[in-house]
């Protein structure tokens, strides 16, 4: 080399492998020290405390979630208690006078789509002797109660269904419904006439 006057191998030996220079030891030890710090010490100083904080954060989130879930469960239990108390009162009232409960059921029934077809059930009882299906002399169906009305009426205890004779008969509740239905129909006819 022209600047230092040394051969290349001598220059490299003097610059990088000079055992008498303290910088040599520093430069050789520095990579080992940095590697040791990065692999063994930094995780202790940074990762472990960060992990602890993350676990604390997750634990706090879970604790808040459990508290809110308990509040919700307590609210649901309170609502269920209110509903149970209301049901008990309604049951007592229905035992005393079932017409009160039937009246509420009729109000809900008025809002159903079956209410508009309920006259077919009434016709079956009072015009067709309770027959579900009636056929003419040529064996053609002249009258039939639609299945949806039949199902609703039977499952809500408005009628007793005799499957053998294919006839229906009104229960006390059914008679009450027919009475209210007739009053409603009469009211509608009267209002239309005016």
pLDDT tens column, 24-63: 788 888 999 999 988 888 888 888 888 899 999 999 999 9
How far CA 21 is from CA of 18, 26, 60, 65, 120, in Å, comes to 6, 9, 56, 63, 114
Report how far Cα 27 is from the mean position of its chain's Cα atoms: 67
The one-character DSSP state at 139 is S
Q: Please tell me the distance from the alpha carbon of residue 115 to that of residue 66, in angstroms, as a whole number.
A: 47
Q: What is the pLDDT along the chain (194 residues), one digit of tens a residue?
A: 567 777 888 777 777 777 787 887 888 889 999 999 888 888 888 888 888 999 999 999 999 999 999 999 999 999 999 999 988 887 777 677 888 788 888 999 998 888 888 888 888 888 888 888 888 888 888 888 889 988 899 999 999 988 888 889 999 999 999 999 988 888 776 766 65
Token pair for 168:
């229906």
Task: Please name which of 118, 113, 127 lies closest in space to residue 177, comparing C-alpha atoms.
Answer: 118
The one-character DSSP state at 171 is -
């Amino acid at each position: 080399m022209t600047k230092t006057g040394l051969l290349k191998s001598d220059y490299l030996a003097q610059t990088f492998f000079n055992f008498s220079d303290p910088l040599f030891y520093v430069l050789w030890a520095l990579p080992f020290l940095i590697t040791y710090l990065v692999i063994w010490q930094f995780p202790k100083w940074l990762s472990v405390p960060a992990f602890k904080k993350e676990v604390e954060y997750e634990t706090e989130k879970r604790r808040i979630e459990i508290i809110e879930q308990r509040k919700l469960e307590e609210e649901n239990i309170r609502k269920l208690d209110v509903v149970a108390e209301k049901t008990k009162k309604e049951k007592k009232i229905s035992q005393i006078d079932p017409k009160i409960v039937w009246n509420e059921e009729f109000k809900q029934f008025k809002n159903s789509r079956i209410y508009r077809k309920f006259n077919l059930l009434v016709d079956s009882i009072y015009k067709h002797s309770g027959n579900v299906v009636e056929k003419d002399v040529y064996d053609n169906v002249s009258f039939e109660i639609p299945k949806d009305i039949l199902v609703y009426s039977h499952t809500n205890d408005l009628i007793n269904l005799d499957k053998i004779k294919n006839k229906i008969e009104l229960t006390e509740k059914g008679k009450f419904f027919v009475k209210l239905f007739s009053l409603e129909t009469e009211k509608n006819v009267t209002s239309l006439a005016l």
